[in-house]
Chain A
Amino acid sequence: MPTKVENWKDEVYGNEIRDHLMEFAEQGWESIPEDEQDAWFERFKWWGLYHQRSGQESYFMMRIGTPNGVIEPGQLEVIAEVADEYARGPAENPEFGDAYCDWTTRQSIQLHWIKLEDIPEIFDRLESVGLGTQQACGDSWRNIVGCPVAGKDKHEHIDAWPVAEELHETFKGNDEYSNLPRKWKVAVTGCDQGCGQGDINDLAYEPATKEIDGEEKLGFNVRVGGGLSRKEPRFSRSIDVWVPPEQAADVGAGMSALFREYGDRDDRFNARIKFLVDEWGTEKMRSVLQDEFVDFELPTAGENMRESYTYNAGGDEHGDHVGVHEQPDGNYYVGLNVLVGRMGVDDVYELADLADEYGSGEVRLTQRQNVIVTDVDSDRSDEFLDEPLLENYEADPHPFMRGSIACTGTEFCSLSIVETKNRQVRYARWLKDNVAVPDGVEDFHIHLSGCTASCAQPQIADISLRGMKTRKDGEPVEALDIGLGGGLGENPHFADWVEMRVPADEVPGYVENLLATFEDQREGGQTFREFIAERDEETLQDLAEAEETDYEDPYMHNTKMTWYPYVEDDDMQSSPAPTNGEGEPLQPADD
Chain B
Amino acid sequence: MTTDVHQLDDGAWVSVNDSREVNVSNLWLLARSDFCGCELTDFLAEGFVDVSVDHPNIEARMAGRCIACGTEGVTDWLQVGRVIDPESGEFCAIDPESVHFPDKRRRLARPQK
Contacts and interface: CB of A to CB of B under 8 A. Distances in A.
A414 interface: yes
A471 B42 CA distance: 9
Nearest to A39: B18
A204 interface: no
Contacts of B19: 34-35, 37-38
A42 B8 contact: yes
A501 B42 CA distance: 13
Contacts, number: 73
Contacts of B10: 229-230, 268-269, 415, 453
Interface in A50-66: 53-54
Nearest to B66: A501
A417 B64 CA distance: 11
Interface string B22-55: 0111010000000000000010101101000000
Nearest to A476: B27
25 contacts: A3-B6, A5-B8, A34-B19, A36-B18, A38-B8, A38-B19, A39-B18, A53-B23, A229-B10, A230-B10, A414-B9, A415-B9, A415-B47, A416-B25, A417-B46, A451-B24, A451-B46, A452-B46, A468-B65, A469-B67, A471-B42, A471-B67, A476-B27, A500-B70, A558-B25
Tell me which of B8, B23, B25, B72 has the highest count of chain A C-beta atoms within 10 A of its own C-beta. B25
Interface in A397-422: 410, 414-417
B57 interface: no
Interface in A90-140: none
Contacts of B24: 414-415, 417, 451
B46 to A, nearest CB: 6
Name the residue among B42, B44, B49, B65 with the largest chain A CB count within 10 angstroms: B44
Nearest to A501: B67
Contacts of A230: 10, 47
A560 B23 contact: yes
B20 interface: yes
B13 interface: yes
Contacts of B6: 3-4, 38
Given A4-B6, A471-B67, A38 B18 contact: yes
B11 A269 contact: yes
A417 B65 CA distance: 13
B92 interface: no
A34 B18 CA distance: 7
A290 interface: no
Contact of A414 (B13, B68, B70): B13
A500 B44 CA distance: 13
Contact of A35 (B8, B18, B25): B18
B67 A35 contact: no
Contacts of B8: 5, 38, 42
3 closest A-B pairs by CB: A414-B12, A35-B18, A4-B6
Contacts of A416: 25
Nearest to B19: A34
Nearest to B72: A231
A416 B47 CA distance: 10
A378 interface: no
A471 B44 CA distance: 11
Nearest to A53: B23
Residue from B27, B46, B47, B68 whose CB has the most chain A CB atoms within 10 Å: B46
A471 to B, nearest CB: 7
B25 A417 contact: yes
A451 B64 CA distance: 11
A501 to B, nearest CB: 6
A269 B46 CA distance: 13
A580 interface: no
Given A414-B12, A414-B13, A469 B49 contact: no
A26 to B, nearest CB: 22
Nearest to A560: B25
B17 A35 contact: yes
Given A415-B12, A560-B23, 8 more contacts: A38-B20, A39-B18, A54-B23, A229-B10, A468-B67, A476-B27, A479-B67, A558-B25
A5 B23 CA distance: 18
Contacts of A558: 25
Given A452-B46, A476-B27, A54 B20 contact: yes
B42 to A, nearest CB: 7
A470 interface: yes
Interface in A531-561: 558, 560
A42 B23 CA distance: 16
Nearest to B24: A415
Contacts of A268: 10
A26 B27 CA distance: 40
B18 A468 contact: no
A38 B18 CA distance: 6
Question: Looking at B8, B9, B70, B72, which has the most chain A CB atoms within 10 Å of its CB?
Answer: B9
Nearest to B70: A500
Contacts of B49: 269
A417 B23 contact: no
